[in-house]
Structure 1
């Protein structure tokens, strides 16, 4: 990827210490990490928009591998020392695992939340595909913002980004999200933590066992009471988790790792 495109990464904090790369989920953009940016002012953070999203909505979605290599170029060019602690939510978590598979030398640690790495159930897939035809309608995104309990100050941006994503690009991304995406092997052997919200669909939790089969170092945790987008639902706890994983500290600090179930 070109340097110009890598420059689209939004950078926060001073370039010192170790960089944390925050990779957003579907239908949003790098702005969705605003709570973590506010809570981690002492960290060097990168919050890029993925191709096709946010400020890069005119770019075509390059598929999971293309988006992963896009992130790799951003880390190589913008992270301190050319490596980063990678944090991914949902689609971002899928890309984080792929980054560790394709470019393990760039990853200091990996934290993924709500990543449906082994695909989703039939009911979830049918429901998701049934909504694609509504993606070009403003009322749909407004309703979705309300259902997600987004704060008023980000609702307009969420609606605008959803409309700019559109049904054509959004449909391509959705098919990648719904399909199994777990790599056949994972050469990365650094710290790896996979998390699922207690109240989100079980698709992310179902991936734990398969992920552990290729990454025996895996730690897992169920976030009590949390839904899928819990980086915004409980930003303080999510940010504390990001710091703990990046610093090599135990997470959760007060209980053993939750086994896959």
Structure 2
């Protein structure tokens, strides 16, 4: 941070958060309400954002010790080479062992961070008291999804691309700037390596070694292929509670931090399920069965009515058919339905940056050229 003495009159103050310099350690600022020992929350960010994305949670969980770790190849570590999911999990475990003197931690993972959280639980179960993951995809992507990924790799260095994606994630102005600032620093070779690891599925083989509580979530409005991972994770972790969050998209800890924080607090303080959560509609999976698992207490009764609109579409299943490459563009547009939502995308601001359009000639300008 620049000191007040160093700032000139015409300098713009730096934002409170920084895309690559957000702190990893956040000691508890108040005692828990139950007067028990201070517990530790470990937040693992997604593959398109940095650890700054957990700022709404850091502010809300002041009665916990918090670690918002920079994952390898992201944030302050964007120069580091990606060495694989197992290596990233061991890296996280080493930091936990160094910083947490007693007791396990509550692991909270979003997207790629959720996949890494599962690897930490599988490889170092003694460090983990509970797991809370959302937006996790461990099912191998189809042909169309891979085509979209290759297209995204070509756009990583473009600031406009990240600001456009930020609108789809429901981020406000400050988050958009941080998101774009972080995104353009990501190295294509690292992102390609991450995608390569996830192409094989990303599910740790020894996940059943972890026997603690697990809450597995997906936003109801995020790409439906995320829910296709529910059966595989549920089979490896039969104790997991699996739920869908109505109306939420992928980065819902930023989109609706009040809801996210409420869901998370009820989980980590007693493995209770928030009343807003819904059981997923059973997906139409080829050769797979879906297990609804939850022997945990639900605070309020769940609404048993599921609509057909929540059913998992067959877009990904059809990706292997001929012509899938030609459909990739259309598939990309459907990845997030809010990409064309003017309430979330600041189209006026984006258009204001385009070159001015020549005005139509008028009578006062003289006759138009033939």
TM-score normalized by structure 1?
A: 0.90
Task: Indicate the larger mover: 17-26 or 79-88.
Answer: 79-88
Counterpart for residue 177 of structure 1: 198
1:149-204: CA deviation from partner (whole Å, max 9, x where unpaired): 32111222211211111222222222223430112232110001100110111222
Within the alignment, does 1:116 sit opposite 2:137 as a pair? yes
- Provide the C-alpha distance between the structure 1 equivalents of 2:258 and 2:83, rounded to a whole number of angstroms: 33
Q: Please show how residues 185-204 of structure 1 align to structure 2 within 5 Å.
A: 185=206, 186-204=208-226
Residue 4 of structure 1 is matched in structure 2 by: none
Give the structure 2 partner of residue 13 of structure 1. Answer: 27
Correspondence for 1:72:
93
Supply the distance in 2 between the matched residues of 1:14 and 1:39 (Cα, whole angstroms). 11
Secondary structure of 2:86's aligned partner: helix
- 2: CA distance, partners of 1:117 / 1:82: 29
Verify: 1:154 aligned to 2:175, yes or no: yes
Matches within 5 A, 1:44-123: 44-81=65-102, 83-123=104-144
Distance 1:51 1:183 in 2: 18
Cα shift at 1:140:
2.0
230-239 or 143-152: bigger deviation:
143-152
Highest CA radius of gyration, 1 or 2?
Answer: 2
> Which of 128, 143, 158 lines up with 1:137 in the alignment?
158
Task: Please say if residues 116 and 203 of structure 1, whose CA atoms lie closer than 8 Å, have aligned partners that are also in contact.
Answer: yes
Contact 2:158–2:184 (CA<8 Å) still a contact in 1? yes
Would the alpha carbon gap of residues 255 and 132 (structure 1) be closer, same or farther in structure 2, given more than 3 Å must change? closer
Find the aligned partners of 1:212 and 1:141 in 2 and give their Cα distance.
33
Matches of 1:41 and 1:221, distance apart in 2: 26
Q: How many residues are treated as equivalent by the alignment?
A: 254
* Alignment match of 2:245 (pick from 217, 220, 223): 223
Unmatched segments (≥5 aa) in structure 2 = 1-21, 30-36, 284-370
Q: Is the 8 A contact 1:23 1:30 kept in 2?
A: yes
Match of 2:46 among 16, 22, 25: 25
Deviation at 1:258, TM superposition (A): 4.9
Please state how far the C-alpha of 1:214 moved relative to its aligned partner: 1.5
- The more displaced of 165-174 and 92-101 is 165-174
> Cα deviations across residues 79-99 of structure 1 (Å, max 9, x unaligned)?
351521001000011001111
Any idea what SS the aligned residue of 2:259 has? helix
Q: CA deviation at 1:259?
A: 7.0
Q: Which has the higher contact order (CA 8 A, sep 6+)?
A: 1
SS class of match (1:221):
strand
Flag the 1:259–1:75 CA change in 2: closer, same or farther, 3 A.
farther
TM-score by length of 2: 0.64
SS of equivalent to 2:150: helix
Supply the distance in 2 between the matched residues of 1:259 and 1:214 (Cα, whole angstroms). 20
1:26-41 alignment to 2 at 5 Å?
Answer: 26-41=47-62
- Residue aligning to 1:232: 254
